[in-house]
Amino acid sequence: MNSPPPPVADLTWPPEAQRWPPVFPPVCACAWGDDRFGLWMDVVIGGPVQRFRWIEPGEFVMGSPEGEAEREEREGPQHVVRLTEGFWLAETACSQGVWESVMGSNPSRFKDDPQNPVEQVSWDDVQGFLREVEKRVPGVKADLPTEAEWEYACRAGSETAFSWGDGIDPSQANYRAKDSYAGSPIGEWRQTTVAVKSFDPNAWGLYQMHGNVWEWCADGPRDYDGASQVDPRGAEGKAPRAARGGSWNAHPFRLRAACHDGLWGVRAHFLGFRFSLR
């Protein structure tokens, strides 16, 4: 019996007028512009400046194809997701410097550089941080991306296991590089976090969507059934939350764009976040 054809996203959607922010620059921006990655703005968060990238609405195919190396069953079936609203996403995971400027302390294990990502923060800890950001940046809603928004931003138009292709090596991300993925080369396992801009960004200007620290999402992981979705959200309330992207101590297959799992409100030295403004 022949398998059904893979789902296909409508890359002509949305109409041109819906692609752009409703206001540009937003009132919270201290600097802004348009470069090869798209629209960006800088916002003062406490003391440090955080750059955000505009993630425009669009459609993409979520999940992994059956032939992807080391995929897990819960990553399928693939399905088309339409995101109807754009959002500003931090181009990096939240650094220790940004966290400490807002919260007044640094819970991280790896404190050798304030540009390392903050870790050892629970999902509830992050909610406290977001509410404090809103007090310092009036007129915005600070949030985590949903799991669907996270994968859309991570893929940045790609359909491969990683945003750059179907293989991985230690020059591209921070992970358990003594282990190989699908025949990819092995190398140094750093066994620590590194600064949030240590590797090249993806096609939308986002750094380290793969590796370094797992990133909390706003919602819990969904069960996929192959049906197309519009602005999907997983479980909320008293439920596990999705964590995406892999980390410095994760096996390379865990860094794939489609890899998803749920965690309860733990604090761990491999777990951080990046946030959005809306």
Q: Where are the domains of the chain?
A: 16-277
pLDDT at 212: 98
Distance, CA of 152 to chain centre = 9
Query: Token pair of 265, please?
Result: 């409100």
How confident is the prediction for the chain on average, in pLDDT?
96
Between 4 and 37, where is the model more confident?
37
Is the per-residue pLDDT at 2 higher than 70? Answer: no
242 pLDDT band (50/70/90 cuts)? very high
User: In this prediction, what percent of the chain has a pLDDT beyond 90?
Assistant: 94
pLDDT at 5: 81
- Distance CA(142)–CA(129), nearest Å, equals 9
pLDDT at 3: 66
Superfamily of domain 16-277 in CATH is paralog of FGE (formylglycine-generating enzyme) (3.90.1580.10)
228 pLDDT band (50/70/90 cuts)? very high
How many residues are present in the chain?
278
Per-residue pLDDT of 88-128, as tens digits, reads 999 999 999 999 999 999 999 999 999 999 999 999 999 99
6 pLDDT band (50/70/90 cuts)? confident
Average pLDDT over residues 159-172: 98
pLDDT at 23: 95
Between 238 and 111, where is the model more confident?
111
Is the per-residue pLDDT at 1 higher than 60? Answer: no
Per-residue pLDDT of 175-220, as tens digits, reads 999 999 999 999 999 999 999 999 999 999 999 999 999 999 999 9
- Distance CA(23)–CA(126), nearest Å, equals 27
- Distance CA(24)–CA(39), nearest Å, equals 9
pLDDT at 261: 87
Per-residue pLDDT of 26-59, as tens digits, reads 999 999 999 999 999 999 998 999 999 999 999 9
The CA dihedral of 32, 133, 122, 108, to the nearest 10 degrees, is 70
Q: Which of 48, 69, 25 is nearest to 181 (CA)?
A: 69
